A and B are shown apart, each in its own frame.
Chain A
Amino acid sequence: AQSVTQPDIHITVSEGASLELRCNYSYGATPYLFWYVQSPGQGLQLLLKYFSGDTLVQGIKGFEAEFKRSQSSFNLRKPSVHWSDAAEYFCAVGAPGGTSYGKLTFGQGTILTVHP
């Protein structure tokens, strides 16, 4: 079974600073990888996804993530954080194949606080 670890529970950055949120996964093959964002009291919104091909993927709101097979990582980055980026971020992994029924395994989340 796959698993996801987000080592940082809470990260604080200043507005305009760069951001990197860490995600490590455990899976026997190349998984499908996702980053979601959740504002307080809201549902989850997909930021970006990796299925195959180019290991650097671009998402919405200026976010990008890089799949590194050797490190089993899929870290999320943004060059300049805006106050509106304050939210909770979830990394998720899915197993390719019909028998997975589209299920995803989520990390515990990283809460991002942005200081003005």
Chain B
Amino acid sequence: SQTIHQWPATLVQPVGSPLSLECTVEGTSNPNLYWYRQAAGRGLQLLFYSVGIGQISSEVPQNLSASRPQDRQFILSSKKLLLSDSGFYLCAWSTQGAYNEQFFGPGTRLTVL
């Protein structure tokens, strides 16, 4: 069966510090991968998606970047965090060429102080 992991589970970082959040998927190959941010009362905002190694598409301009160094690994990064980067970050995967059904990881709670 497939599983998706995210770490860390929680993170408190000062403004201006770097960020690296990691997501890995097990039990599937060549998945589509997604990063979402969830702010209180604002639903889910798609930040990045990837259809293959090294292929990253950004949905919104922001202070963040994403990379996919391996087939089942998706990393969210920032060089300098802003207060507005605080939120709950969710990684998800779906099967390529299928019916869009996405499976979510447990999320990372990021607080920028």
Task: Give the distance in Å from the alpha carbon of A32 to the alpha carbon of B97 in the complex.
Answer: 13
Contact of A94 among B44, B49, B90, B100 (CB under 8 A): B100
Task: Give the distance in Å from the alpha carbon of A103 to the alpha carbon of B48 in the complex.
Answer: 10
Contact status of A49 and B101, CB under 8 A, knowing A42-B106, A101-B32, A103-B49? yes
A43 proximity list for chain B (CB < 8 A): 90, 104-107
Q: Is the CB of A44 within 8 A of B104?
A: yes
User: Which residue of chain A has its CB nearest to the CB of B98?
Assistant: A102
Comparing A18-26, A54-62, A68-76, A105-113, the segment that makes contact with chain B is: A105-113
- Residue among A36, A95, A103 with the highest chain B CB neighbour number at 10 A: A103
User: Which residue of chain B has its CB nearest to the CB of A10?
Assistant: B41
B contact residues, total (Cβ < 8 Å):
28
B46 to chain A, nearest CB (A): 6
B42 to chain A, nearest CB (A): 7
Q: Is the CB of A46 within 8 A of B101?
A: yes
Between A and B, 14 residue pairs with Cβ closer than 8 Å are A32-B100, A36-B104, A41-B88, A43-B107, A44-B90, A44-B92, A45-B104, A46-B102, A90-B44, A98-B97, A100-B100, A102-B34, A104-B46, A106-B43
Residue positions of A touching B, CB distance < 8 A = 9, 32, 34, 36, 41-46, 49, 51, 90, 94-96, 98, 100-104, 106-109
